[in-house]
Structure 1
Amino acid sequence: MEEGKAYIESGILELYVLGELNEQEQHEVEAMAAQYPEVKQEISAIELAMEEYAIQHSVQPSIGLANKILEKIEAATVATPKVSENLTPATPQEAKILPLYPEGYESKLKTLRIALIACAVLLIVAGIALYTAHTELGTAKEQIIALNQDKQKFANTVNYMKETNRELQTIADMPNDPDWKIVKLAGTKMDPQAKMMVYWHTSGRHVMVDNSKMGLPKNDQAHQYQLWALVNGKPVNLGVFDVKADTTHILLKMKEIGSAQAFAVTLEKRGGVASPTMDQMIVMGSVSI
């Protein structure tokens, strides 16, 4: 049930009705509709909504359109040929003059003309209505795509805010948990102004870098910063990271460590190295006991 509801809210059903999905995606939607009645009902509701939207926004043809069509048809109508009044009888007897068309023909012809005109008018009206509906449906399609894009942007924003709040709450709770160690790393002779903050949970082994308090120069595409833990005088690799002005997370998770006496950061080639380059050490800080 929850899966069907989540599938409906994803916005893929609107794209299915509009014909914007490839064959594989269409089969996926049809399979979900067969499995979940609510998905099938939602597809029917979307189709009905689009049809009602097109009808409500259709444009009626102008009143003078029918008159113009009548005038053109009347002008193109060929006049009925007249019967010659001077017929010479084939025999000396008086010849009977027979009408060229049966009685009532003119009336039937007039009725037929009117019917043809009415059909032509209806055909033009239907064509205009169909064109208008197609135009309105295209507009509705564009609006639905735009709404889906806005929906995705909103969802991304909400997720970002949730993640940010969770990370801020983690930082706020650290003083109440004695297992959290807040290690301030200060600049070395490589860059005396550099600084950053490392959070280490001694029992949980978690190590995180605080992006909001990052005071390191932005690295280029060929290099990355590498975090090290000093364990009994030996450096242990805790992973690499980049310094970005538009980072999406406050806390950056690094590799776990069970014990450490200090943390340090060096600037290394992208991907990291097995041993730290000591003359490229930019910050370092000891763990307070």
Structure 2
Amino acid sequence: MNNDIKSILESDMLERYLIGCTSAGENRIIEESICRYPEIRQKYKEMQEDLENYTRSFSKPAPSQVKKNLMRTIRKEKKQGKSWYLNAAAVIAIVFCTSTVVLLYQNRQLLYKNGLVNEEIASLKSDILNTNSKLDDVKNQFLLLNNPKTEKYILKGNRRAKNLKTVAYIDPVEKLSMINIVSLPELPGEQVFQMWAEIDGKMVSLGVLENAQNKLLSIPFKEGAKSYNITIEPKGGNIIATEDNVVASIYLR
């Protein structure tokens, strides 16, 4: 499927266009797409039909007083010899149009409010996930620091990174590992520090180190790791460790 088609169908642009909540630029994009792509044209047609059915489901008969006034007007016009049926038709059309406009407006309001509610729900879900993630981190920190079997390792930088100092905590029982970055030297913008675990003679990435001083950061636990190493790598990290750029190493017990 064309990326333009997919982008429009997966967004809420058609819904907003249908209820008149799109900008002039979005209107132009949608109208051109409806003319150009059969898939979008079909989807828009289905949405129009859904809106019409929705509107009909909420339609209400005209108040009885309107009917009485209409019949009174018809009888009066008939006595006067005028084209009463034309007047009647006009009145009926006005009543129908007025009720239709009101229902369409109410439907637009409902769709708009529904969109706001969905956005709020999505935001709440995101907040819940973030909160749960933070709670898991706190729980893991508590387990790690309070377990007497947790092993502590200090990695200090060599002459290429004299101010580098990190403390690694490893709990082999709970299989948790974290790192506390005490200090990281400044690097050029195109370089980063990356941490590695040596397993069976191969370097396995544990991620790029962020300059979050005095904060415990989770790192992947690696079974069978023989050493921890920190290298200088290109921005974004590397797949394979540049062993010539190792600035800190520690062998694990």
TM-score when normalising by structure 2: 0.55
Deviation by residue 1:251-271 (Cα, 9 ceiling, x = unmatched): 4433613253x5221112442
Deviation at 1:185, TM superposition (A): 2.5
> How many correspondences in the alignment?
193
Do the aligned residues in 2 keep the contact of 1:228 with 1:264 (CA within 8 Å)? yes
Deviation by residue 1:67-124 (Cα, 9 ceiling, x = unmatched): xxx9xxxxxx9xxxxxxxxxxxxxxxxxxxxxxxxxxxx63845x51x5323312311
- Aligned equivalent of 1:146, options 116, 125, 128: 116
- CA distance in 2 between counterparts of 1:128 and 1:218 reads 69
Deviation at 1:286, TM superposition (A): 5.8
| 1:267/1:245 CA distance change after superposition, 3 Å | closer
- CA distance in 1 between counterparts of 2:106 and 2:185 reads 54
Higher relative contact order (CA 8 A, sep 6+): 1
Among the aligned pairs, what percent are the same residue? 13
Q: Which residue number corresponds to residue 194 of structure 2?
A: 226
Pick the structure with greater CA Rg: 1
- Aligned equivalent of 1:281, options 225, 232, 246: 246
SS for the counterpart of 1:265 is strand
Do the aligned residues in 1 keep the contact of 2:169 with 2:177 (CA within 8 Å)? yes
Deviation at 1:239, TM superposition (A): 0.5
Do the aligned residues in 2 keep the contact of 1:238 with 1:254 (CA within 8 Å)? no
What is the RMSD computed on CA atoms of the aligned residues? 4.7
Whether 1:271 aligns to 2:244 is: no
| 1:218/1:119 CA distance change after superposition, 3 Å | farther
Do the aligned residues in 1 keep the contact of 2:198 with 2:204 (CA within 8 Å)? no
- CA distance in 2 between counterparts of 1:257 and 1:223 reads 28
Matches within 5 A, 1:22-171: 107=79, 109-110=81-82, 113=84, 115-171=85-141
Give ranges in structure 1 of 5+ residues lacking alignment.
1-14, 27-46, 57-65, 71-76, 78-105
- CA distance in 2 between counterparts of 1:235 and 1:166 reads 32
Q: Which residue number corresponds to residue 34 of structure 2?
A: none
| 1:218/1:250 CA distance change after superposition, 3 Å | farther
SS for the counterpart of 2:161 is coil
Do the aligned residues in 2 keep the contact of 1:202 with 1:258 (CA within 8 Å)? no
Code of the residue aligned with 1:258 in structure 2: it is G
Deviation by residue 1:169-206 (Cα, 9 ceiling, x = unmatched): 11111233233223232333223333333232335655
SS for the counterpart of 2:205 is strand
- CA distance in 1 between counterparts of 2:211 and 2:102 reads 49
Do the aligned residues in 2 keep the contact of 1:224 with 1:240 (CA within 8 Å)? no
* Greater per-residue helix proportion: 2
- CA distance in 2 between counterparts of 1:218 and 1:285 reads 22
Do the aligned residues in 2 keep the contact of 1:188 with 1:283 (CA within 8 Å)? yes
